[in-house]
């Protein structure tokens, strides 16, 4: 796939599964590739490759939409690596036990995860033409940092629901959401994200006073972020 990106060779995109079989869906070109931190099935950090694909009508370059060709010209087959480790830090130990470690460990981990999210945000915004055709990437580091910061409780200052309720698997019933949506220019960073219980999330999304609530959540997310990085 890296060779296809460098040579601008279109690839066939197939959809399906082993039970129903696979069918050809479209031609696609690889607009961007990157490596980022993710969380494996064992709940430990792992390096993951991400490929940004853009559908094209055919292998004929002349048939490709101009935004796709512009993105290829702009990106120049670069490889973005968001997994560069901080000097002297143990990546695996910083990524575990987000609700089970002491305050010092949580703040240290929060700072590390925030730095990874910031690097991912920098890469995401590096190419204006690429952003025209790719979906916004959600940084797993940013979400994990917010979950650590919340301590398993809804971060809305006006929560009147079950703010620390647990699911059947023992994990907090929380939804990490962007206060200012990515589509509206919000950043995928902990300072713009907040952990909400389902009720508060619904109020933020479609509540009668959602505009006022969002302003409160912007202040709350900023305050909690500052508390974590200045501890």
pLDDT by residue (tens digit) across 15-71? 888 888 889 989 999 988 888 777 788 877 788 888 888 889 999 999 998 878 877
Residue 200 reports pLDDT greater than 60: yes
pLDDT recorded at residue 87 = 40
Tens digit of pLDDT for each residue in 123-133? 666 555 555 54
Question: So what's the pLDDT on residue 68?
Answer: 82
Query: Is the model's pLDDT at 147 over the cut of 50?
Result: yes
- The model's pLDDT over 59-118, given as tens digits with 9 standing for 90+, comes to 999 999 887 887 787 666 677 776 765 444 444 443 334 334 455 677 788 888 888 788
Task: Name the residue ranges covered by the structural domains of the chain.
Answer: 2-229
For 164, other C-beta atoms within 10 Å of its C-beta total 15
pLDDT at 74: 67
pTM (two decimals): 0.59
The DSSP symbol for 172 reads B
DSSP code of 192? Answer: G
Report the half-sphere exposure of 77 (CA within 13 A, side-chain side): 9
Residue 154 neighbours by CB under 8 Å, 6+ apart: 161, 163, 164, 174, 195, 196, 197, 200
Residue 84: predicted pLDDT: 61
151-195 pLDDT tens trace: 889 999 989 877 677 777 778 889 999 999 877 888 889 999 999
The reported pLDDT for the residue numbered 169 is 74
């Amino acid at each position: 796939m890296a060779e296809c990106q460098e040579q601008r060779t279109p690839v066939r995109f197939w959809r399906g599964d082993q039970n129903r079989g696979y069918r050809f869906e479209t031609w696609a070109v690889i607009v961007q590739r990157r490596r980022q931190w993710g969380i494996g099935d064992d709940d430990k950090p792992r390096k993951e490759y991400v490929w940004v694909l853009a559908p094209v009508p055919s292998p004929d370059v002349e048939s490709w939409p101009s935004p796709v060709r512009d993105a290829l010209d702009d990106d120049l087959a670069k490889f973005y690596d968001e997994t560069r480790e901080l000097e002297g830090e143990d990546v695996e130990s910083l990524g575990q036990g987000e609700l089970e470690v002491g305050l010092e460990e949580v703040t240290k981990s929060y700072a590390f995860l925030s730095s990874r999210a910031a690097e991912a945000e920098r890469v995401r915004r590096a190419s204006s033409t690429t952003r025209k055709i790719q979906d916004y990437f959600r940084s797993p580091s940013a979400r994990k940092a917010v979950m650590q910061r919340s301590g398993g409780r809804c971060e809305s200052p006006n929560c009147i629901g079950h703010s620390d309720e647990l699911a059947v698997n023992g994990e907090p019933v929380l939804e990490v959401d962007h206060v200012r949506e990515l589509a509206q220019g919000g950043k995928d960073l902990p300072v713009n994200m907040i952990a909400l219980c389902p009720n508060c999330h619904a109020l933020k999304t479609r509540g009668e006073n959602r505009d006022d609530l969002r302003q409160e959540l912007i202040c709350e997310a900023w305050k909690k972020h500052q508390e974590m990085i200045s501890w």
